Copies of this chain bind each other. A is one copy, B any other.
């Protein structure tokens, strides 16, 4: 089979579209942000992407219907001339091997390039390893001029973060994107790294909305954030009780740690 199979659901002509990428990763920040953006715009389905570099897996919906794991492209036509058409890329997985990451990203960039994409925003989480009350949005860009522009939108460029660079799709879409003549920015929401983090996703999307001149209603995302907070508080309480009671705490934390 082809390494990457792209099923186009609708043929569209877009005007100078911008690609927004948000796939699963640290705190699921990128995926939460991209999915929320897609739903709020709302963006319409454009293409489904399958690959042998994803796990050999299908999901089963509550109705008993299966769905092969995939990435998905949706498009949004700008209603006003102050805005740009958008392509939103989300999905179940990033490629599960280094080679797979390169192959999938390269193929998607090629496809998006043929749709006219010359500009990319990648959305991600940045793990701080501690609770982050008010997540900042860190940035990295393909050009120094873009770094300056982003600073005006409140994006933080830190001399030391991220120290080891970016690993995975959010970096690769920018790095390989340059081979296609694309420029772009990675927006990283600070997050603990322990939970999925809708609050960090909100911070990222707020910056992105300003950049793209779009308006987003954050109520549903905030509700999700509150729910996670509530769960986190429960865990905290359970741990406090447990640490008074005995050593079974850590195991219990582990059980709850994957909620999200």
Kindly provide the distance from the CB of A153 to the nearest chain B CB, expressed in whole angstroms. Answer: 13
Total copies of this chain within the assembly: 4
Encoded as 1 (CB less than 8 Å from any B CB) or 0, chain A from 56 to 92 comes to: 1111101111111100000000000000000000000
Chain A residues bordering chain B, tally (CB within 8 A): 55
A64 touches B1 (CB 8 A): no
**In whole angstroms, how far apart are the Cα atoms of A102 and B105 in the complex?**
19
Kindly provide the distance from the CB of A122 to the nearest chain B CB, expressed in whole angstroms. Answer: 10
A165 touches B59 (CB 8 A): yes
Give the nearest-CB partner of A174 in chain B: B66
- Judge whether A147 is part of the interface by a CB distance below 8 angstroms: yes
Kindly provide the distance from the CB of A100 to the nearest chain B CB, expressed in whole angstroms. Answer: 8
- Judge whether A27 is part of the interface by a CB distance below 8 angstroms: no
B176 touches A103 (CB 8 A): no
Give the nearest-CB partner of A94 in chain B: B56
**In whole angstroms, how far apart are the Cα atoms of A63 and B158 in the complex?**
8
Identify which of A102, A147, A157, A162 gathers the most chain B CB atoms within 10 Å of its CB.
Answer: A102
Q: What chain B residues lie within 8 Å of A64 (beta carbons)? A: 139-141, 144, 147, 157
Residues of A within 8 A of B (CB): 1, 5, 7, 50-60, 62-69, 95-96, 98-99, 101-103, 105-107, 139-144, 147, 157, 159, 162, 165-169, 171-172, 174-176, 178-179, 186
Report the 8 A-B pairs with minimum CB-CB distance, sorted nearest first.
A68-B175, A52-B102, A56-B101, A64-B157, A1-B106, A58-B171, A59-B165, A64-B147
Q: 23 A-B residue contacts at CB 8 Å?
A: A1-B107, A7-B179, A50-B176, A51-B102, A52-B102, A52-B103, A55-B98, A56-B95, A56-B98, A56-B101, A57-B166, A58-B166, A58-B171, A58-B172, A58-B174, A60-B162, A62-B159, A63-B157, A64-B144, A64-B157, A66-B141, A67-B175, A68-B175
